[in-house]
Structure 1
């Protein structure tokens, strides 16, 4: 989740134009489009697979402190180090200590993958000293909520109190899941709309291709992507497939109205988070927020608030693709490759839209609901399965990457980053299927073997 790195003064919102400015301000010419890759991983003690706390010797605090040896600068909250900033973006903590890199905006996938490689080398170097390992899955395979520590971040205290009021699985989302995401640019409002629609409609395909969370509490949970299922019962006011995105006339104005109607979590003032859970940003605009009576919001408050909506695709000053489970090295590079190939080529974007533009709201919702359990076997509108559709999607993405002609020193374009996904489609086996095969085979029902075979 977003970590505030700028605590300087921010101007007050004077009009609706200030709310819309964050979206319009994201418009960039094609040659300025960038790729921002985000990926999370679970941190565990090598000796006993326990999730370390922030404060214990050799725990999360010491991991962050150790990473400053590589030039990362500490970010503190309440005198405690809770994140790092540097040339490769931001390293932050999810609520139970999941470690996230929010990478810098980069020009091509070669650079993005190199960035991820540097990050993993650094965390492994520090982890080796501290006796820590790092696991690439979509959900803790063997940890109950009670087994997990809570990081010292004020916004998480507020969210942990609020989640049980609005859904049954929100605490699992916060404490027990990891994801891979990519942030992508747009050139205009109409370009944003088309990318948003394609991204939403095809997000279930990404969920199936990256399905990697088949275990809960040490045993199979009946899902291929339980992480994705968790989002179906986290908080309906701020999650989902956003059917209004497909309405005629959708644009910045309509997304702004949606975001204004998402209930608030907090307001950040004087270095601390003030609980505003369930309150209205519209009231805040009028100076009637119960948590801060008489005060009106700043532009930074609006930016914070936009980060508390969790739909399958999210708009800020860029578009976030949010449907994939966490995974290991090759999958971190494959997720941005999939979406860059689809969305950064006009011909690929048109071809992808042709695949989905006739789907109804009900068909999109049905596919979203089916994929967490059935993954590649989910039926798609018009016939066939997600596996069939994924083959078409990968072909379109591959063509888009070839068109970009971003060549590295070895003479390779970006298409090779799709290989892990091509293997999924060719074999018909998701990452979750392979984990389940191991569990029922040579692991003899011991999910603890995942630490030995699926760590970074």
Structure 2
């Protein structure tokens, strides 16, 4: 989650909310891809989690990164909680349990995304190593209990922490013990957004299976391949899930706005104060009916902040956020945007992806979503296995990237970044299954080796 937005422009009508989303449309030539990833910091010496304060804490890490990069600090109640590049580049932010996130800049190619990632990891290492810190690439914290997990000093997270247990059983696990990698992609029109939203929602469980990498909880196998994905099934179903209405006739910006208007809010920020309005709707705010802020009407900041607290499998802002993948090693972070760019940014591949999924019913899509965290590539949809669908989807992505012809400095196109996913389908094994085999075999039933195996 990046920094809160600051735009005091008043919003007075539903049409303005729709227009705000519609302003995200851009010509194909201006399409970009942004990649976000989270990782777990840990003390190398004893594999314990890293608190915010202290000489080798998260604050020290951020201060070191600020000195190295020259980025501007993001401050909350006097505490540094992130950094951002004022030239329009990336941002570094903290998830609730100290997960360290890079929100990458919008870039033209996957090659550039990978260069950005490698530079970031080198910078992180330069600051972290003298502090005795390492970073772990998994979808769920493999060892620490919720009680052992540190809490970051971000006031919006305090509000969420109070609210989450009221609306699901796994919200605190989601906040404090999971990591994801996410790709953000553009659309050219409302019709283009609709097609991409539908393809993205339908294929998101396929991506979840390909990237499954969270098989451990509190030192033991948890019976799942993507525990992170399973956690989302009971985090807060008012704001998560597969959005079946996106496949109904007439879906577009207006329908998404109507959905977002009724998703419960967490907070309204006025000046430096976070007002806890958890459970109230944005529709209430539009009508000046918030009990906590009677007569108060929304600003653009309120709208953008609210949209960032809605968590469906594909999220609509002024771009589309693909939210189905577990955090993982460096190659997987580059593979996720490659998968979606290959499908989304080539007309033939996007059409082919829609042909692949358009016959699935809402019930089939939901059953697929429910099965994948446990069954991975063996789950089925419409009489086919996820493995079979994944092969087709990867072929579409590969063909789309070939047609894009974006070459690196030695003449390779972007298909090189799909190799880790090609390996998954060739071996018919997820990364989670590989780690489970090591746990049962060479690790001798001990979780600690995963910190060496999956460290950046």
TM beyond 0.5:
yes
CA distance in 2, matches of 1:424, 1:280: 42
Show the counterpart of 2:211.
210
Counting only pairs closer than 5 Å after superposition, residues 106-185 of structure 1 correspond to structure 2 as 106-185=107-186
Checking the alignment, whether the CA contact within 8 Å between 2:2 and 2:91 is kept in structure 1 is no
Q: Is the CA contact 1:281–1:289 (under 8 Å) kept in the aligned structure 2? A: no
SS in 2 for 1:277: coil
Structure 1 residue 72: Cα displacement: 2.1
Q: Which is worse superposed, 285-294 or 323-332?
A: 285-294
Answer with 86-95 or 401-410: which moved more. Answer: 86-95
Contact 2:24/2:187 (8 A) holds in 1: yes
Aligned residue in 1 for 2:385: 385
Report how far residue 273 of structure 1 moved.
1.3
What's the offset of the Cα at 1:22? 2.1
- Equivalent in the alignment of 2:447: 447
SS at match of 2:24: coil
Equivalent positions of 1:269-288 (< 5 A) are: 269-288=270-289
Q: Which runs of 4+ in 1 moved over 3 A?
A: none
**Alignment match, 2:410:** 410
* Partner-residue secondary structure (3-state), 2:17: helix
What is the CA distance between 1:269 and its match in structure 2?
A: 1.2
User: 1:143–1:217: 8 Å Cα contact kept in structure 2?
Assistant: yes
Matches of 2:287 and 2:452 in 1, distance apart? 55
1:10 aligns with one of 4, 8, 12: 8
Where does residue 188 of structure 2 map in the other structure?
A: 187
Give 1:384 shift: 2.6
Q: How much has 1:408 moved relative to structure 2?
A: 1.2
- Counterpart contact for 1:92–1:101, Cα < 8 Å: yes
Counterparts of 2:289 and 2:189, CA distance in 1: 34
Aligned counterpart, 2:77: 78
Following TM superposition, by how much is the alpha carbon of 1:17 offset from its aligned partner in structure 2, in angstroms?
2.1
Matches within 5 A, 1:42-441: 42-68=40-66, 69-86=68-85, 88-381=89-382, 383-441=383-441
Give unpaired runs (5+ residues) of structure 1: none
d(CA) in 1 for partners of 2:198 and 2:54? Answer: 45
Distance 1:304 1:167 in 2: 22
Aligned-partner SS, 2:75:
strand
Look up the SS of the partner of 1:161 in the other structure: helix
CA offset at residue 2 of structure 1? 3.2
Contact 1:267-1:276 within 8 A present in 2 as well: yes
Q: Is the 8 A contact 2:143 2:218 kept in 1?
A: yes
Tell me the distance in 2 between the aligned counterparts of 1:262 and 1:2. Answer: 20
Match of 2:377, SS state, is: helix
| Matched residues, number | 453
Give 1:77 deviation, angstroms.
Answer: 1.1
Segment of structure 1 superposing worse, 64-73 or 164-173 = 64-73
Answer yes or no: is the 8 Å Cα contact 2:139–2:328 preserved in 1. yes
Give the drift of 1:64.
Answer: 0.4
CA distance in 2, matches of 1:395, 1:77: 45
Residues 33-78 of structure 1, C-alpha deviation per residue, up to 9 Å, x if partnerless?
A: 0000000000001111111111121100000000011222211111
- Would the aligned equivalents of 2:3 and 2:74 in 1 still touch at CA under 8 Å? no
Deviation of 1:118 (Å): 0.6
Q: CA RMSD in A?
A: 0.8
Give the drift of 1:103.
Answer: 0.4
Unmatched segments (≥5 aa) in structure 2 = none
Give the conservation status (yes or no) of the 8 Å contact 2:12–2:298.
no
